[in-house]
Chain A
Amino acid sequence: MTTEATAGRGLREISNENYVFLQKWVHQASGIVLDDGKKYLVDARLSPIVREEGLDSLDDLCNLLRATRGAALEGKVVDAITTNETLFFRDVAPFDALRSVVLPELLERNAATRTLRFWSAAASSGQEAYSIAMMLLDMGLSSWKIEICGTDISEQVLERARAGRYLQIEVNRGLPAKFLVRYFDRAGLDWQIKPEVRRLVRFEKRDLRDDLRGLGPYDVVFCRNVLIYFDIETKKKILAGIRGCMSPNAYLSLGAAETTFGLDERFLRRPLNGAVFYQRGE
């Protein structure tokens, strides 16, 4: 393929052999399946690294990955390949269902302990975790003991999540204006999440394919728009791992294109108010 973009960048297209190497390498490093015919994507995402490292081509980068065990470079490549796109209150419906059905149920179930525990698995830059936090504050639950844990494989996005500082184009996306004025402070041209929201949320580096024991148990897990990137065996493993971190009858929200169906039949499919949640059962 000789698109203008690749020609303009002046980098040679990656060889077939190295593309296959990269598919395997990315799969091993992150679990993500790079389809055949995604050379343009690899090219667009990795070219900046090639230049940063002072290399001549993507083939050189592959050679470097073969030769080194440098965590910094590996982290950079995984970060560049993964899709980190996210937004506040993504898809709206899961958050509406959380507010109108799931939370009222949890408030009853957990009345004795007055604790609520949430997990934003594959949190990216934190919008999902902070959306949950803002919703809880908006519902007047600040006297409850609330814990929201956000995890991701990418240190780069986690740093942004921890900082809680967002660009104007990011707060434009999906965030109700009343939440923006209530829960953010202006910081130059950016917007900084307020400490009262920030203190409910904690971010940790985790690969979802690893042993997840020790996390949780959570009442609600959001694991959205990440399973789509994995093969079936990896999806099964991750779902089982997540299930192990859920309290009895806890709820799981997946991305609109994701399901437990055919992967883990122990989950109960629960259509709630225009969204679908998957319930752990006893």
Chain B
Amino acid sequence: MQSSPMRALVVDDSRSMRMILAHILGQLGYQVDQAGNGRQALEVLDRERNEISLVLVDWNMPEMNGLDFLRALRANPRYAQVTVVMVTTETQASQMIAALEAGANEYIMKPFTPEVISEKLRLLGLAA
């Protein structure tokens, strides 16, 4: 076990959604940063260097959406180890495929319950 807490970033343009996700991740032992869109998320990641290992990102957001964020992130080898989970109301198989192809590690459809988050993170080896 690491001594310092694992760090995650929640990216969503809804403040209440950010708070819900941050709360759930907090209970799983994560220290959580927040961003309101993809552009801000890239800034936070850049600022925090390689500290953040998990990003939960919405799809539809102003300025830079989740898919564009994902593409930008995956274009930068520095972030190859960052795990990205899409958390979105988009539920078409074609959209899921697009997200996975762009480098998402997992996909969660809204609405979700706290267990959904922990179960998906367990799949990724990121929760007990």
Contacts and interface: CB of A to CB of B under 8 A. Distances in A.
- To the question of whether A and B form a pair in one complex, the answer is yes
Interface of A: 87, 89, 91-92, 168-169, 171-174, 176-178, 180-181, 184-186
Contacts of B104: 177
8 contacts: A92-B122, A92-B123, A169-B113, A172-B108, A177-B96, A178-B100, A181-B96, A185-B93
Given A89-B123, A186-B92, A173 B100 contact: no
A184 B119 CA distance: 19
Contacts of B92: 186
Contacts of B111: 169
B91 A168 contact: yes
B109 A168 contact: yes
Contacts of A174: 119-120, 123
B116 A177 contact: no
Contact of A181 (B100, B122, B123): B100
Contacts, number: 43
Nearest to B111: A169
Contacts of B122: 91-92
Contacts of A172: 108-109, 112, 116, 120
A108 to B, nearest CB: 27
Contacts of A186: 92-93
A184 B107 CA distance: 15
B123 A173 contact: no
A172 B85 CA distance: 12
Contacts of A173: 115-116, 119
Given A172-B109, A172-B112, A177-B107, A87 B119 contact: yes
Given A168-B109, A184-B93, 10 more contacts: A91-B122, A169-B112, A171-B109, A172-B108, A172-B112, A173-B115, A173-B116, A174-B120, A174-B123, A181-B97
Nearest to B85: A177
Contacts of B109: 168, 171-172
Contacts of B100: 177-178, 181
Interface string B36-78: 0000000000000000000000000000000000000000000
B33 interface: no
Nearest to B93: A181
Contacts of A171: 109
A169 B108 CA distance: 10
A235 B99 CA distance: 46
Nearest to B92: A186
Contacts of B123: 89, 92, 174, 176
A177 B119 contact: no
Contacts of B120: 172, 174
